[in-house]
Amino acid sequence: MDQLVIKGPTKLNGQVKISGSKNAALPIIAASILLNGKTTIKNIPEIKDVISLIKIVEDLGAKCSFKNNIFKIDTSKLKNKNPDPELIKHLRASILLIAPLLVKNGEVRIPHPGGCLIGARPIDVHLEAFKRMGAKIKNGGKDYYLKADKLSGVNVTTDFFSVTGTENVIIAAVLSKGQTKISLAAAEPHVQDLCNFLNKAGAKIKGIGTHNIIIDGVNKLSGIEYEIIPDQIESGTFAIAAAATKGRVEIDGFVKAHHESLLSKFDRANIKYEFLSDHKIKILPTNHIKAIRIRTEVYPGFPTDLQAPIAVLATQASGTSEIYETIFEGRLGYINELSKMGANCVVRDAHQASITGSTPLYGTRITSFDLRAGATLVIAAIIATGESRLDQIEIIDRGYERIEEKLKKLGANIRRVSLKEVE
């Protein structure tokens, strides 16, 4: 286990290139199991979750290579077997393997997935959809067993906008018999990217980017070459970091169409920026940051994954900012860590908090409890006076590719040390 040591305060300046989307890479890698022949996927981020999923796919018999952010897979020797529970139990994205393995093998046994401790994320939406499509399901307590000779298209209306639920149904439906209609489908950029990937391989998916998706089943999918989109959350995180430090940062991979809600908050907070192209933004220094109100929503609303990072911006804003987390009930754990650093925060309940600023932050020892909270505390440490030591940074490595290297290039005083060095 490592620790990040960060000395501040620092104004970030320079240029940063955003990595490929974590949330697009994972379902696309899972879906690639269904493609015949060889597939090449470019712009895959080299992060722990991706590496863990590739290990699982390799264990299933697929021939894979991953180098220089290019993932290649050949599924011609894929085995009719279940994924290794030891490889799969700590990876939330492993739930995305249910659909391709069920379609490919006619059955799958998979343990309940792990992941960040940010609240309950039930898989009822997935299971109910598979059941409607013709699968028989048994819950063994610690794992799920699904069996289906052939899935059939149905109308699926989810209880809520489940991202992985939508992705799993899409993956299952592309080779199913007949037509599948998904109402209340998630429409996030990475869901759209999955659909575009499958369509290029021969799928017939309509309604991409809307909450009503129609899928006509096809007989086969062919291997392709594809490049995934930049990471919406990483680009948003770096934009927030630049704004919070009152720096001047050019971000290559900030897709304007993906960030309407964030840009709206920037406008209200008086953050200055200019677009150099549809995929490149420059954050400019802002002397007077205004308080804002954040309410997370399904896309195109404000993303839950940026709720924690923008809280650091709120600590530097004049007035009281309100945060209302509507997606997960365990996502405000980082607030206590910000308070340790001097932030004026009040947690009202599992979903609501307020932050009053502007307040100076001071370096101390803090802990990352989940992926996005970890990035949040990195930003806080950069603007804080003195030295901060951030524990459990392996959680950050699950979703951000070489984050400390990118921040160093922007001027941050940040280094990674092992706990043995610290002790």
Residue 63 CB coordination number (10 Å): 14
CB 378 within 8 A of CB 353: no
Please, which residues bridge with residue 172 across strands? none
Q: CB burial class (10 A; 0-12, 13-18, 19+) of residue 405? A: exposed
Cα distance between residue 8 and residue 413, in whole Å:
7
Cα distance between residue 267 and residue 290, in whole Å:
9
Which member of 64, 116, 195, 345 is catalytic? 116
Identify whether 116 is a catalytic site residue. Answer: yes
CB 384 within 8 A of CB 362: yes
Structure tokens at 137: 């399901």
DSSP annotation of 201 reads T
Residue closest to 322 by CA, chosen among 354, 287, 368, 361: 354
Q: Sheet containing 107-111: give its strands across.
A: 107-111, 143-147, 136-139
Cα distance between residue 85 and residue 267, in whole Å:
47
Return the active site residues.
Answer: 116
